Amino acid sequence: MKRLMNLTPSKPLSIFLSLMPFVLILFVYWNASNVRLAENPNDKLLPSFSQISSAVDRLAFNEDKRTGKYIFWVDTQASLYRIGLGILISAASGLIIGLLTGLVPIARSNLSPVVTIISLIPPMAILPILFISFGLGELAKVMLIIIGTAPVIIRDMQSRVLQLPSEQLIKAQTLGASTWLVALRVVLPQILPSLISSMRLSLGAAWLFLIAAEAIAAQEGLGYRIFLVRRYMSMDVIFPYVIWITTLAFLMDFSLKRLSQLCFPWYHDIESGK
């Protein structure tokens, strides 16, 4: 008998093992919901699957009577726009500032301390400032996401640049490269894969800030809806919304990973060889 740490599951077994917890959770939920609903048909805490699906049907596939819109999709669009814009701006500033502070000592002395300090400010604490200065529109919510995620990405990018072997930077100079060309052709392509993984890690924080901002002030959005229906204890809406948010988060993470594998095969080869 091999050691436990050396046993690898076969493909079918591994699929079975990974699906089992999900099936188990659904089964436990289904059971508990049945029990509660049998006691009290008006119970709101654990709605049945059919109650949930009719709520989804009402929000996603039927026009809202008051506004004439498909609420679920309006919410999705609003939230995706905010988080997408926020994370893209964070990534762009992280890349540019991180590359600059990592490669150019003058920029590092100039910007590194202030970035470190900003990254230590709890973003939620300055949310009121954002609402006061940027109003209750889109800008404040996007700003919260940027302030919450950009400093981390900047610091990550800076440390990636500093981790590049100095041999490479010297080599490029002996081949006649200027600072600009070293940045463009040696440093930039090598930190782009790290930028993507940094974005993936920041997505969790970005969703947190998005939902917090939407809960406090918004007219639409996934987070807004959840906190709105909380007043009526509409678990049949909250549950599918949470699952949908999780699905979106998963899809974003997955597509970033695929993008990285597609664009930077050398990086993933080296990583998996380690």
Partner 1 sequence: MNFLSIENLYKSYGENLVLERLNLTVEQGEFVSMVGASGCGKSTFLNMLLGKEKQTKGKIVFEGKELTQEPDAERGIVFQKYSVFPHLTVLQNVMIADEFSHSPILGWTFGKSKKEIKQKAMSFIDAVGLSPAIKKYPHELSGGMQQRLAIAQALMKAPKILLLDEPFGALDPGIRADMHELILDIWQKNKLTIFMVTHDIQEGFKLGSRLWVFDKIRQDPQAPNAYGAQVTFDLSLTTENSKAAAKELLKEAS
Quickly count: other Cβ atoms within 10 Å of residue 239's Cβ.
Answer: 19
Least distance (Å) from partner 1 to the CB of residue 75?
41
Q: Which residues bind partner 1 (CB under 8 A)?
A: 165, 167-168, 170-178, 180-181, 184-186, 189-190, 264-267, 269-270, 273
In the bound state with partner 1, the residue whose beta carbon lies nearer, of 89 and 177, is 177
In the bound state with partner 1, the residue whose beta carbon lies nearer, of 145 and 172, is 172
In the bound state with partner 1, the residue whose beta carbon lies nearer, of 45 and 259, is 259
φ/ψ region of 63 (left if φ > 0, alpha if ψ in -120 to 50, else beta) reads beta
Least distance (Å) from partner 1 to the CB of residue 152?
24
Quote the CA–CA distance of 253 and 70 in Å, as a whole number: 26
Least distance (Å) from partner 1 to the CB of residue 164?
9
Quote the CA–CA distance of 266 and 134 in Å, as a whole number: 43
Least distance (Å) from partner 1 to the CB of residue 100?
17
In the bound state with partner 1, the residue whose beta carbon lies nearer, of 69 and 171, is 171
Nearest to 85 by CA among 134, 139, 132, 130: 139
Quote the CA–CA distance of 46 and 236 in Å, as a whole number: 8
Least distance (Å) from partner 1 to the CB of residue 109?
19
In the bound state with partner 1, the residue whose beta carbon lies nearer, of 31 and 168, is 168
Nearest to 199 by CA among 93, 71, 53: 93
CA torsion angle 98 101 104 108 (round to 10):
180
The amino acid occupying position 28 is V
